[in-house]
Amino acid sequence: MDRRALTILRISIGVFFFFEGLGKVGWFGDPSILRGQLAGWLASAPAGSLSHAYLERFAIPGVAAFARLVPLGEMASGVAIALGLWPRAFALVAFLMALNFHIASGALFKYSFLTNGYGLPVLGSALAVAFAGGTRAPAVKRARVKG
């Protein structure tokens, strides 16, 4: 892959994840925001579906932890990916967080997942950076060599 193209992809998806996390900062002080969203998804998920089981057995019981981990993880991953700091590791973390969201919401199993900008483009971009790695900004490279 062309280094410039990968840099554009890395910065774009990094900025996206940072601002997704920033929009969830309120969850730190009020986990009920996330709890309400998960409860809504559970109510609309067909009984016996993967989404229903995931919500019931994993996401809802862990809501207090996830209300803090998700915003922190998205913001940290976004910054790290955008700056090219361990982009493979942080892109994989971002991919897994986004995948969890799509499983929990049930979006992964709908046609609209393929046409929604939050679906396939986000997962594909994060996975591409996870596999391809990334390029660091020249200032970051120089700082790591000197320090």
Residue 64: half-sphere exposure toward Cβ, Cα within 13 Å: 1
Task: Over range 38-48, report the average pLDDT.
Answer: 95
Choose the most confident range, by mean pLDDT, from 67-81, 98-112, 124-138: 67-81
Q: Is the pLDDT of residue 133 over 90?
A: no
Q: Is the pLDDT of residue 110 over 90?
A: no
The string of pLDDT tens digits covering residues 73-83 is: 999 999 999 99
Q: Model pTM? A: 0.85
Q: Is the pLDDT of residue 139 over 50?
A: no
Q: At what angle do helices 63-83 and 87-105 cross, to 10 degrees?
A: 140
* Percentage, residues of the chain above pLDDT 90: 77
